[in-house]
A and B are shown apart, each in its own frame.
Chain A
Amino acid sequence: MIRAENTGFSYRTEKGAYRALKNVSIEIRPGEAVAVLGRNGSGKSTLARLLNGLLIPDEGRVVVFGRDTSKDDLWEVRKSCGMVFQDPDSQIVAGIVDEDIAFGLENTGLERSEMEKRIDEALSAVGMSEYKLHSTQYLSGGQKQKIAVAGIAAMRPKCIVLDEATSMLDPEGRRSVVSAVKELQKNYGISVVMITHFIEEAAQCGYVYVMDGGEIIMEGSPEDILTRDEELRRCGLEAPLCVRLAEAFGFEKKLYGDDEICALLCERIKNGEGDNLPQKITETVQEEKKKPTGNTGNTGNIIEVRSLSFAYGREKILEDIDFGIKEGSFTSIIGHTGSGKSTLLRLLNGLYKPLDGEVFFKGENIEHIKGIRNKIGIVFQNPDHQLFEETVLKDVMFGGLNMGMSEDEAKKRAEKALLAVGFPPEKNERSPFELSGGEKKRAAIAGILIMEPQVLVLDEPGAGLDPEGKASVLETIKKIQRRGLTVVMVTHNMENAAGLSDHIIILSRGRIYAEGSPAVIFNNAGDLEGIGLEMPAVAKLRQKLGKKGIYVPDSIFSAEKFAEYLKYSGS
């Protein structure tokens, strides 16, 4: 059993102590799966690090299987409680899979023959046996995380802590890591602590803690906690779709399965509730149905991609890509890791040269356009890869100065760009390295907007942010698009793409798998899960209801509108 008793922890910085944990008590019983939910900065990662003695609490104590982390041998503590970190690239020590798994075993002084046995056992437990002699460098993110899990499992711990270990993975990678960990829990009786902000992962655990501001705000069974939408929202989280629907209809608050909630909804609607469909709702629904896909204020496409191919050496990355992007539209390019979506994005403004085919901007081949990168601006996934100046303002000015603007002009435009992305103006003179994840992202977008591009391309703009931060950054991007900018977003998150875009392109293995409006894509695009993606929860439910003869318009993707529509339509 692991027990944290009234623990507190402060980080010491130049500006004084920062209290990250206040009076936190948790308990993890043997063989149990526990989730710790919370927004970024809520203290959940600090708590994780207390659990295996990477940090020692200032107040209270942590007892790990009978050992007090402030008094006993930390080495024994860490042997019994292993930890998997967020970044797949930073935690692998060796170049070959088996050598990496051996690392922990070597540290604990195990015999060689025993090591062989445990490495094989751990690899088969996470389903990675055939990769034993592979180079760690070429594995996918999900595979790297499974190797990290195996490296811990081989030490035969009593508990594994996953510190946001799935947050950098695509849906397929996330599913496979979670199922590998669940197998370990089932087959070896290992306790699991999942530090996460994915509500679906918490729903699979036996007990849930919700943290905010360094404190435990709620705790209890998932059934109890995850059904309290309002309280979860205050902590920057959101209850699952089924709960929100149940709430709207006044059903008993429970974590329903898709089929259960579907049956309940059918029953209610067929009993003829809600003939009183209010005018307002009908209008919005009608309007939404009538709204054409893509803002076709201008004839012709702003970007036109024709039979584009790309290869690294002999390895084909993209083949025969054809599509057009309408001016003022919001296009999402969706694909699993390795589908070629990041490469496609780099081809759009000539960072990479295509092997074959062309990209046109307003009818002209981009190879012949001078300063094309100012016209099609790309915001890369990780803001840390571009922020470098002393202050945020200077950093945003960089792009403007490169275009040849005067210092004053650049400053004026930088302030405007920062305002447009909702960056708090009082932080303009701060160092970009002191910002939160969401603020960095905004600064990075402003760094492109200063060049006043006509197309804004974003690679996975929600990466690394918590649900709240993600939603608010995406909202900002939508606002920017409404003001007339064409937006192209590359993502593996269907949920985001569904609500925001009017045009979706799905890539799989370097080819276009499907293309069309969200409604078309999520209702007739075939087996999206088969190509490593995930249907949005609303679309899934819509399909199920459709089979029972209840029609919900294709254009509705938000849970609220979905509930409203159902509530007021009736048979």
Chain B
Amino acid sequence: MSITIGQYYPGDSFVHRLDPRTKLIFLFVYIFGVFMCDSLIGFCLGGVVLALAVYLCRAPFLSVIKGLRGVLYIAVFTAVFNILFTKEGSVIFKAWILTVTDVGVLTSAKVLLRLALIIIMSSVVTLSTTYMALANAIECFLDILKPIGVPAHDIAMMTTIALRFVPTLFDDLEKIKLAQMSRGASFDEGSFMQKIKSIIPLLIPLFVSSFRTADVLALAMEARCYRGDVGRTKYKVLSFCAADHIVTGFVILFGAAEVFLRVWR
């Protein structure tokens, strides 16, 4: 089974058992920290933290990396672009209209490293957290905004359902694509306008089928007594335990360290 980005991998590791709120806070602070870091020591620190998280998550990371290939290609492409178009610094290599400078190489390497760290850390979080748990965490954070009229529960429920139906939609899209290809449709030939036009036979059936799915889902939810968050209890109760406090403290230290390294370098 291949693992794609954003997918949950069932397990019972230390990371799996953490409160989803902890994981979200962790991810945000980590991303902040990674954007802060600019020095070798800063990047090392980020790498060590990531390695620790990966180790504690106990998911099959080789297949995860494979699943991330697409995203990593984009990152590498961006980096190469960055190298070729940076004109500052001393020139290392020059041929035809291509110029490579030391500053260019360095900035690109940093961008690439940051992206890699962030993407892999995000996968650690999505691999170890179910959609429901993520939604619960989001709902909990948004609860603070409830007094000013933010519908926290609805946003959370919509997020869960959207995530739950992503694979279903992709399945449908694949089937629609095959059905139209059987009728001689092609999706990668012709001019730009033709390509745009060729999407219509995909989009309309996809819309029709997702509206139908939405209809049935709404009925099924109603039949199971759903009526918003009125009198609703939670199966997965969020509770901060010792491990959550430690992890949160740890990541705040990490963030502070990165800021320190950046400012007092």
- Chain B residues with CB under 8 Å of A152's CB are 224
A532 to B253 alpha-carbon distance, docked (Å):
58
**Contact at B209–A384, with CB atoms within 8 Å?**
yes
Q: Which of B183, B200, B236 is A402 in contact with, Cβ under 8 Å?
A: B183
B216 in contact with A135 (CB, 8 Å): no
Q: A85, A103, A379: which has the most chain B beta carbons within 10 Å? A: A103
- Min C-beta distance of A386 to chain B, whole Å: 4
Whether B234 pairs with A378 at a CB distance below 8 angstroms is no
- What is the 8 Å Cβ interface bit string for chain A, positions 82-105, against chain B (1 contact, 0 not)? 110111011111111011001111
Please tell me if the beta carbons of A95 and B164 are within 8 angstroms of each other in the complex: yes
A385 at the A/B interface (Cβ < 8 Å)? yes
Q: Are A96 and B233 in contact (CB under 8 A)?
A: no
A90: B residues at CB distance < 8 A: 212-213, 216-217, 220
Q: Which residues of A contact B176 (CB under 8 A)?
A: 385-386
Chain B 199-218 interface 0/1 with A at a Cβ cutoff of 8 Å (1 = within): 01100110011001100110
Contact A399 B184 (CB under 8 A): yes
Chain B's closest residue to A134 (CB) is B10
A133 at the interface (CB under 8 A from B): yes
Q: Mark A369-385, 1 if CB is under 8 A from B, else 0.
A: 00101100111101011
- Complex contacts, A245 vs chain B, CB 8 Å: none
Known: A85-B220, A89-B168, A90-B217. Is A373-B225 also a contact (CB below 8 A)? Answer: no
| B149-170 interface (Cβ within 8 A of A) | 160-161, 163-164, 167-168
- Is B164 touching A93 in the complex (CB atoms < 8 A)? yes
The answer on a CB contact under 8 Å between A135 and B8 is: yes
User: Which residues of A (477-536) have their CB < 8 Å from a CB of B?
Assistant: none
Q: Does A252 contact B (CB under 8 A)?
A: no
* B224 & A155 in contact (Cβ 8 Å cutoff): yes
Q: A109-B233, A402-B185 are in contact. Are A385 and B179 (CB under 8 A)?
A: yes
8 Å CB interface, B215-241 against A: 216-217, 219-227, 231-237
How far apart are B192's CB and chain A's nearest CB, in angstroms? 19
Which chain B residues border A568 with CB–CB below 8 Å?
A: none
Is B223 in contact with A94, judged by CB distance below 8 angstroms? no
Q: Decide if B26 is an interface residue (CB 8 Å cutoff).
A: no
Q: Which of A79, A91, A451 contacts B225 (CB 8 A)?
A: A79
Asked if A315 is at the interface (CB within 8 A of a chain B CB), the reply is yes
Contact B163 A91 (CB under 8 A): no
Whether B184 and A110, one on each chain, are in contact in the complex, defined by CB atoms closer than 8 angstroms, is no
Query: A403 vs B184: C-alpha distance in the bound complex, in angstroms?
Result: 7
Determine the chain A residues whose CB is within 8 A of the CB of B172 once the complex forms: 385
In the bound complex, do residue A85 and residue B219 qualify as a contact, i.e. CB atoms below 8 Å apart? yes
CB distance from B34 to the nearest CB of A (A): 28
Q: In the assembled complex, which residues on chain B have CB atoms less than 8 Å from the CB atom of A402?
A: 183-186
Contact B205 A388 (CB under 8 A): yes
**Which B residues touch A86, using CB under 8 A?**
216
- How distant is the Cα of A109 from the Cα of B184 in the complex, in angstroms? 53
Instruction: Check A463 for interface membership: any CB of B closer than 8 A.
Output: no
Q: Are A384 and B208 in contact (CB under 8 A)?
A: yes
Question: Within 8 Å CB of A148, what residues of B?
Answer: 220
The secondary structure that dominates the B interface is: helix
Inside 8 A of B200's CB, which chain A residues have their CB? 388
A-B contact count (CB 8 A): 168
Judging by beta carbons under 8 Å apart, are B185 and A112 in contact?
Answer: no
Interface residue count for A (Cβ, 8 Å)? 68
Q: Does residue A433 face the partner (Cβ distance < 8 Å to B)? A: yes
B220 contact set on A, CB distance < 8 A:
83, 85, 90-91, 93, 148
A78 within 8 Å of B (CB atoms)? yes
Tell me, rounded to whole Å, the shortest Cβ–Cβ distance linking A91 to chain B. Answer: 4
Question: Which residues of chain B have C-beta atoms less than 8 A from A134's C-beta?
Answer: 10
A384 and B205 contact, CB distance less than 8 A: yes
Given contacts A91-B216, A96-B10, whether A378 and B237 have CB atoms under 8 Å apart is no
Interface: B182 (CB within 8 A): yes
Shortest Cβ gap from A455 to chain B (Å): 12
- Asked if A448 is at the interface of the complex by the 8 Å CB criterion, the answer is yes
Instruction: Name the distance in Å between A434's Cβ and chain B's nearest Cβ.
Output: 12
Highest count of chain A CB atoms <10 Å: which of B208, B232, B233: B233
Q: Does A137 sit within 8 A of B, measured CB to CB?
A: yes
Task: List chain B residues, Cβ under 8 A from A138.
Answer: 1
A384 touches B212 (CB 8 A): yes
The answer to whether A95 and B8 touch across the interface, beta carbons within 8 angstroms, is yes
Q: Is the CB of B209 within 8 A of A99?
A: no
Q: Does residue B132 face the partner (Cβ distance < 8 Å to A)? A: yes
Q: Does A111 contact B (CB under 8 A)?
A: yes
Across the interface, which residues of A come within 8 angstroms of B10, CB to CB? 96, 133-135
Q: Mark A6-46, 1 if CB is under 8 A from B, else 0.
A: 00000000000000000000000000000000000000000
Name B's A-contacting residues (CB within 8 A): 1-2, 8, 10, 130-132, 160-161, 163-164, 167-168, 172, 175-176, 178-186, 200-201, 204-205, 208-209, 212-213, 216-217, 219-227, 231-237
Q: List 18 A-B contacts (CB under 8 A).
A: A83-B220, A85-B219, A90-B213, A90-B220, A93-B221, A93-B224, A95-B164, A96-B8, A102-B235, A107-B232, A111-B233, A135-B8, A135-B10, A313-B1, A351-B182, A385-B209, A398-B183, A451-B183
| The 3 A-B residue pairs with the shortest CB-CB distance in the complex, in nearest-first order | A402-B184, A102-B235, A91-B220
Chain A positions near chain B (C-beta within 8 angstroms): 49, 52, 54, 75, 78-79, 82-83, 85-87, 89-96, 98-99, 102-112, 115, 133-135, 137-138, 148, 151-152, 155, 313, 315, 346, 349, 351, 371, 373-374, 377-380, 382, 384-388, 398-399, 402-403, 433, 447-448, 451
Interface contacts beyond A95-B163, A137-B167: sample of 7 additional A-B pairs, CB < 8 Å, sorted by A: A103-B224, A107-B227, A115-B235, A138-B1, A151-B224, A388-B200, A388-B201
